[in-house]
Amino acid sequence: MTLLMPVMMTAQTFKIKGSDTVLPLSQAEAESYMKKNQGSAITVTGGGSGVGLSAIISGTTDIAQASRKMKMDEKVKMQEAGKAFKEVIIAYDALAVVVNQANPVSQLTREQLEGIFTGKITNWKEVGGEDMKIVTYSRETSSGTYEFFKEHVLNKKNFATTALLMPATGAIIQSVSQTKGAIGYVGLAYLESKVKALKVSYDGGKNYILPSVENAMNKSYPITRPLYYYYLIASEKSVLPFVNYILSAEGQKIVQDQGYVPLKK
Amino acid sequence: MKKFLEKITRGILFTSSMVTSLTVLLVVFFLFREGIGIFNRNAVEEHHVIAVNPENPVRELTSQQIMNIFNQDITSWKEVGGTDTPILLASVDDVANQYTEEQLGAEFEHLPELIEQYILENPGIIIYFTDNYIKEGFRGKLVPLHKIGFAEFIFGKEWFPTAQPAGRYGVWPLIMGTLWVSIGAILLALPIGLITAIYMSEVAKPRIRNLFKPIIELLSGIPSVVYGFFGLVVVVPLIQKAFQLDVGETALAGSIILAVMALPTIITIAEDALRTTPRALKEASLALGASHWQTIVRVVIPYAKSGIIAAVILGIGRAVGETMAVLMVTGNASVVPHTLLEPVRTIPATIAAELGEAPFGGTHFKALFALGIILFIITFGFNLAVEAVKSRKK
């Protein structure tokens, strides 16, 4: 016990909680960091961005990982709790819209995507494809990816009730690959050759951009979101080395290995 | 000394059964306490309000209208009984973005005033925010919200629990989805299960039976997520091709997977029931000149009838509450199905998929517990049916 004490004293021990989108990344980073810094113990848990942010307000976590920016309400609550915090963007994440390999459609505008996912457009021939019913696949409503897609692609409108809600990204890939009229969305990291990624235009059809790490990094691909870490300035001393590690070249390499978009090459 | 030990043993037995019963009762009580709470809520989250400009003549908005407004399907106040003013959707973040940090104040202390000011400046506004921004003498107009009614909850056809600002809590598609999948599973599992049970207990040679029995029992040991993935990769494309459908994730796919999962229970219990037929009865039938088949149909099956029915009900009862496998193959679209060849969303799948992210104690959370009550009533009904069948035997 006495032998262990000095190690425990110098080691950093802290918790990370929040978004399930960021979870695999935080885990990979923490593992690699703990290997380099013997004795430090980082606990990473998921639960969703909202869960992480309310945990940092109540003081039950040291870092909140989030796939969205802190809302005004949450900032006010932080203020009321008398806590000053810092926000860091650690990586980016891009969503790819995918269709069946046999589908001749290869590009869509944001407006067309909105029409398709809200149920206003129901046949592929309305967007320049074959005469075939559109089958929309979405993630479950509890997923952060669902929220992100709703906010950034559907202009905050609700999905059509007829959208099929799948429990996992893998299930969306599987279903889209075996359903001819299917359309769905997945994180860039999950993109496979079993399905076809669509080019997307956010300027009414002038420029169609293919989802890729390069296009996400140079900001030309529009369905991209930053991933955040929030930490209290009071606990900066213990968490900052880890945050800096993620932002370092080595940490950013892990970002890319995990299928996310690094801040810069 | 012996008496003392006996007393202790009795005490331990009593306590353990007492604790078990109490736990069950507590779980049921908890389920009902949380679930019934849904009828005390309105569709907007607790401590949240919807405000409009004080000049706006609109009196009350239903959750349907609120959703249509925020979906931008309704764009003028005229459509909901107001004046011909375009609707301006706003959130607290929109308001905060209008002003500089200085105006908001270092501790955001000016935010409530700015929200009020923003509401007064925009005649067409509708804004959704938490009630802690409402200061005394608030001059905006709060939209009155009505509570979720029983009929609205059970017979409502729209399930949009996470719609902002007002969720839609209609569970009719989920109830119908659960029933369609379960009834489909019964219709599939019943004949196959019975035929297999009869074959194994009466027809099969011991060697074949000893080979089949462990294989069938192995089925019940497979984790349900494996069944689900098997269903998604094999059954779903098969159904899609066989029926020329646009989409293979259907109630039928769920029924097939559930039927396969219920089969081991049905076969094992039904076979045991069939084997309880006294040898004397069978031999008497054969001695009277009946053939083997006549004996099975006229003597063995009628004797084991109640056991067979219990087997079917237990097998299906297990399947009704099954979550993961169904979640993978039924597509989970919350529409009211009219045939087995449409996507459905079942109650267990809904609870499993949504409970993790529903804010603790919120309206959505309560609604999921209310769904739990409905599921409880369905499975309780199945158990009552088993009891009724069993007691008839006596």
Contact residues on chain B for A142, CB-CB shorter than 8 A:
162, 353-354, 356-358
Q: Inspect the interface and report whether the beta carbons of A174 and B327 lie closer than 8 Å.
A: no
**pLDDT at position A198:** 95
**pLDDT at position A3:** 46
Is residue A76 less than 8 Å (CB to CB) from chain B?
yes
Position B128 pLDDT exceeds 60: yes
Q: Inspect the interface and report whether the beta carbons of B72 and A157 lie closer than 8 Å.
A: yes
- A156 Cα to chain B: minimum distance (Å): 7
Q: What is the mean pLDDT of chain B?
A: 87
**pLDDT at position A47:** 77
Q: Inspect the interface and report whether the beta carbons of A161 and B159 lie closer than 8 Å.
A: yes
Q: Inspect the interface and report whether the beta carbons of B111 and A135 lie closer than 8 Å.
A: no
- CA–CA separation, A99 vs A96, rounded Å? 10
Give percent of chain A above pLDDT 90.
54
Q: Inspect the interface and report whether the beta carbons of A135 and B356 lie closer than 8 Å.
A: no
- B36 Cα to chain A: minimum distance (Å): 23
pLDDT mean over B16-22: 95
pLDDT tens readout for residues B305-333: 888 888 878 887 777 777 888 888 999 99
Q: Inspect the interface and report whether the beta carbons of A72 and B70 lie closer than 8 Å.
A: no
Position B51 pLDDT exceeds 80: yes
- B322 Cα to chain A: minimum distance (Å): 15
Which of B95, B108, B163 minimises the CB distance to A158? B163
Q: What is the ipTM of this complex?
A: 0.80
DSSP line for A4-66: HHHHHHHS-EEEEEE-TTTHHHHHHHHHHHHHHSTT-EEEEE-S-HHHHHHHHHHTS-SEEEE
User: Which residue did the predictor score with more confidence, B20 or B163?
Assistant: B20
CATH value of A93-217 in 3.40.190.10, 3.10.20.740, 3.40.50.720, 3.40.390.10: 3.40.190.10
pLDDT tens readout for residues A221-234: 999 989 999 999 98
Domain boundaries, chain A: 11-91+227-257, 93-217
- B334 Cα to chain A: minimum distance (Å): 6
CB B344 within 8 A of CB A184: no
CATH value of A11-91+227-257 in 3.20.20.70, 1.10.10.10, 1.10.10.60, 3.40.190.10: 3.40.190.10
Beta bridge partners, A187, equal: A95
**pLDDT at position A129:** 92
Give the DSSP H or E segment for A232.
Answer: strand A224-232
Contact residues on chain A for B177, CB-CB shorter than 8 A:
none
Position B70 pLDDT exceeds 60: yes
B/e letters for A159-176, b = 16+ CB within 10 Å, e = fewer, are bbbbbbbbbebebbbbbb
Task: State the pLDDT confidence band at A21, using cuts at 50, 70 and 90.
Answer: confident
**pLDDT at position A265:** 60
Q: Measure CA of the first residue to CA of the last residue in chain B; give whole Å.
A: 42
Is residue A175 less than 8 Å (CB to CB) from chain B?
yes
Q: Which of A228, A231, A227 is nearest to A83 (CA)?
A: A231
Q: Measure CA of the first residue to CA of the last residue in chain A; give whole Å.
A: 45
- CA–CA separation, B241 vs B314, rounded Å? 33
**pLDDT at position A7:** 42
Task: State the pLDDT confidence band at A13, using cuts at 50, 70 and 90.
Answer: confident
Beta bridge partners, B265, equal: none
Classify residue B378 as exposed, middle or buried by CB count within 10 Å of its CB (0-12, 13-18, 19+): middle
- Residue A219 gets which letter from DSSP? T
Which of B249, B333, B353 minimises the CB distance to A142? B353
Other CB atoms within 10 Å distance of the CB of residue B376 = 17
Position B288 pLDDT exceeds 90: yes
pLDDT tens readout for residues A152-189: 999 888 899 889 998 888 889 999 999 999 999 998 87
Which of A76, A141, A163 minimises the CB distance to B108? A76
Position A4 pLDDT exceeds 50: no
- A70 Cα to chain B: minimum distance (Å): 10
Omega of the bond prior to B165 within 30 degrees of 0, cis? yes
Q: What is the mean pLDDT of chain A?
A: 88
**pLDDT at position A9:** 42
Is residue A132 less than 8 Å (CB to CB) from chain B?
yes
**pLDDT at position A11:** 62
Which of B95, B108, B334 minimises the CB distance to A79? B108
CA atoms within 13 A on the CB side of B206: 0
Q: Inspect the interface and report whether the beta carbons of A178 and B240 lie closer than 8 Å.
A: yes
- Helix axis angle, B172-198 to B251-275, nearest 10°: 40
**pLDDT at position A241:** 92
Q: Inspect the interface and report whether the beta carbons of B354 and A141 lie closer than 8 Å.
A: yes
Do A11-91+227-257 and A93-217 agree at the fold level?
yes
Which of A71, A164, A181 minimises the CB distance to B332? A164
Tell me the two tokens of residue A246.
């993620």
Of the segments B90-104, B107-121, B223-237, which one has the largest average pLDDT value? B223-237
Query: Distance of alpha carbon A32 from its chain centroid, rounded?
Result: 21
**pLDDT at position B60:** 81
Q: Inspect the interface and report whether the beta carbons of A165 and B353 lie closer than 8 Å.
A: yes
Position B359 pLDDT exceeds 80: no
Contact residues on chain A for B130, CB-CB shorter than 8 A:
73
pLDDT tens readout for residues B152-168: 899 999 898 888 788 88
Position B219 pLDDT exceeds 90: no
Q: Inspect the interface and report whether the beta carbons of B96 and A72 lie closer than 8 Å.
A: yes
Alpha-helix residue ranges (DSSP H) falling in A169-247: 169-178, 213-217, 236-247
Task: State the pLDDT confidence band at B394, using cuts at 50, 70 and 90.
Answer: low
At a CB cut-off of 8 Å and minimum separation 6, what does A249 contact? none
pLDDT tens readout for residues A72-109: 778 888 888 888 899 999 999 999 999 999 999 999 99
pTM listed for this prediction:
0.82
pLDDT mean over B228-238: 92
B/e letters for B26-46, b = 16+ CB within 10 Å, e = fewer, are eeeeebeebbebbeebbbbbe
Task: State the pLDDT confidence band at B26, using cuts at 50, 70 and 90.
Answer: very high
